[in-house]
A and B are shown apart, each in its own frame.
Chain A
């Protein structure tokens, strides 16, 4: 149980275009999902907390207008990287919790974004 599916697993796009990444909880409802960014050989950096039916909470330094998050249902959150640039190239990964309070995270497979 507690499967999180993330799509696409990799994407290559041209500079200036937008890319949408989907994160789905397949067998549970996730009122809260998290989006992380991970550079090579580095840790996961929390970008934002996605709450179903409300605006996402962004971490300091993360541009909300560049990284658009939508959590329209209890099983789907999307991250759109707008006007992507080469410096946005990274591994993006989502996660969700099955319970309230402190619970283990269940991660998606991640999306390798390359902006050319």
Chain B
């Protein structure tokens, strides 16, 4: 079955810096890769997703890149702000399999 590895588990940046979170997956048949943001005690919320027919997708300060050959995809957050502090999860194939999460801390 599908296996998703996410790194790093924690990430601390200064406000204004960029943050990058990487995920790898095992099933080459996977075609859908969403990213979720979860604040403490709240529901995960979709922030961006990408399908295998594109290599990059951008939405304001957030972008996701996908390398199907290498089976990895990354979340890029530019100009980070304190409100970006949360746990971020990647997932593969409809989000049935989640990565272990990355706790992002943005300090001002």
Contacts and interface: CB of A to CB of B under 8 A. Distances in A.
A109 B32 CA distance: 24
B93 A102 contact: yes
Interface of B: 31-32, 34, 36, 41-46, 49, 51, 89, 93-101, 103
Q: Which 6 A-B pairs have the closest CB atoms?
A: A102-B32, A107-B43, A104-B46, A43-B100, A102-B94, A105-B95
Interface of A: 34, 41-46, 49, 91, 93, 95, 97, 101-110, 112
Contacts, number: 52
Given A42-B100, A43-B99, A93 B43 contact: yes
B96 A108 contact: no
Nearest to A44: B98
Nearest to B99: A43
